[in-house]
Amino acid sequence: MDKIAVYPGSFDPITYGHLDLLDRGLTIFDRIIIAIADNPAQKPLFTLEERLEMIKLSVQDHPQRHRLDIDTFHGLLVDYVRTVKSSAILRGLRAVSDFEYEFQMALMNRKLNGDIETLYFMTGMRWIYISSSIIKEVVASGGCVTGLVPEPVERGLAKRLGAPAKKSL
């Protein structure tokens, strides 16, 4: 039986930090489902369909692509996890500031379904300072995010927020 993890998030947009965590998760799980949350209350920059497409393009050449699924979900994460026959949620932690929120979410998920475990990976040092929010702020302010996000994301950000001058990091 495959060990399947659900990697949930808004992925608005996906970054190399997310992809690093995905790669490391594949060393433990047979399959990972990237589950894009449909939460309009978060007021995402990109539509659900745009995020789905950017993620598909960002992982299309991944050497382990056959072990990745990309999906969307509405409602409770634990219900989605149960629906896809998984018992593991994969999450990343960048800093202590992430911990309190993640801890509360894990405890609530456990209360809702005690058979589902949440596993946390520390963000790789190379990516510890980036988040989707910071990426959007940088591009909106005219900065360049080359090397921090996959090319399809960089194109999507440039189209939505204006194209910054390309500079190497």
Question: Is 18 in contact with 9 (CB distance < 8 Å)?
Answer: yes
What's the CATH number for 4-128? Answer: 3.40.50.620
The pLDDT, as a whole number, for residue 94 is 87
pLDDT value at position 98? 82
Q: Where are the domains of the chain?
A: 4-128
Spatial neighbors of 136 by CB under 8 A, at least 6 apart, are 12, 13, 45, 157, 161
**Euclidean distance between CA atoms 77 and 56, whole angstroms:** 21
What sign for the dihedral angle of Cα 80, 83, 88, 92? negative
Number of CB atoms found within 10 A of residue 122's CB: 13
Look at the alpha carbons of 61, 67, 71, 76 in this order and tell me if their dihedral is positive or negative. Answer: negative
**Is the separation of the CB atoms in 108 and 81 below 8 Å?**
no
Q: What is the pTM of this model?
A: 0.92
Average pLDDT along the chain, 169 residues, taken 10 residues at a time: 94 97 96 94 92 97 95 96 97 86 94 96 91 94 95 95 61
